[in-house]
Amino acid sequence: MSINGIIPIKDPERSRSMRALLEDILNKHPLIDSIYTLNLPKQSILYPITYRLNKLQFSALRNATQIIGEKECYLSILQNYKHDRNIDKDWVINLNSDGYLLFAKSNMVLENILYSVNGSWAIIFHTDDLAIIGGKEEFIKSFLEAFPLTEGEQIKNYLDDCKYYAERMGGFDFDGLLIFLERIFGREKAPTLLQASNITKP
């Protein structure tokens, strides 16, 4: 299906270039292979969110990227992309078109990442209704204005849900969660976030 504003990357060389940029952006969790954070100046979480941006959120992304002069971005599938070579996994998105909204509604059911063609920002969509956003502070601040919950409320809701489900499943990886938060918010802030949600090491 061809959709205006979203172009699949068929050229192997360009796809390799995109993936090289992606490798520079992604920061794999040392304990949990399926979890990534971002090698970018500032990070935060978006919660709850599906595998895609809705219309309001995509508009916020468009506005935030206009501030830094970008009109296109990349979209790449992360989940199991190495195992099926016959499916498109990399696209160029025109941020001035709504083609992404139509495409993502039908196709985004796996972990994926939207990211700057210059590597200056990224939004990675994980499972469990979680996404991580990274970039300069003004970019993140502009984007978060589209969310009804504040940054602090989203963080607290995520950690409260982590605790809720962990208690019902017999516990969770405290060290893994701590490292995850440290990589997003820093070593000083991460423990205080856990304390605020009454999450302690077993």
Q: Residue 2 corresponds to which tokens in the numbers above? A: 């061809």
Domain-by-domain residue ranges, the chain?
Answer: 6-148, 150-202
Q: Residue 106 corresponds to which tokens in the numbers above? A: 């039908």
Distance between start and end Cα atoms, the chain = 50
DSSP per residue over 22-76, as a string? Answer: HHHHEEE-SS-TT-EEE-SSEEEEE-S--SS--HHHHHHHHHHHHHTT--EEEEE
Residue by residue, pLDDT tens for the chain (202 residues) are 458 899 999 898 998 999 899 999 998 876 666 678 999 999 999 999 999 999 999 999 999 999 899 999 999 988 765 555 556 789 999 999 999 999 988 877 789 999 999 999 999 999 889 999 999 999 999 999 888 999 999 999 999 999 998 888 877 788 889 999 999 999 999 999 999 999 988 7
* Residue type, position 138, single letter: E
Strands (E) located in the chain? 6-8, 26-28, 36-38, 42-46, 72-77, 90-94, 112-116, 122-125, 131-135
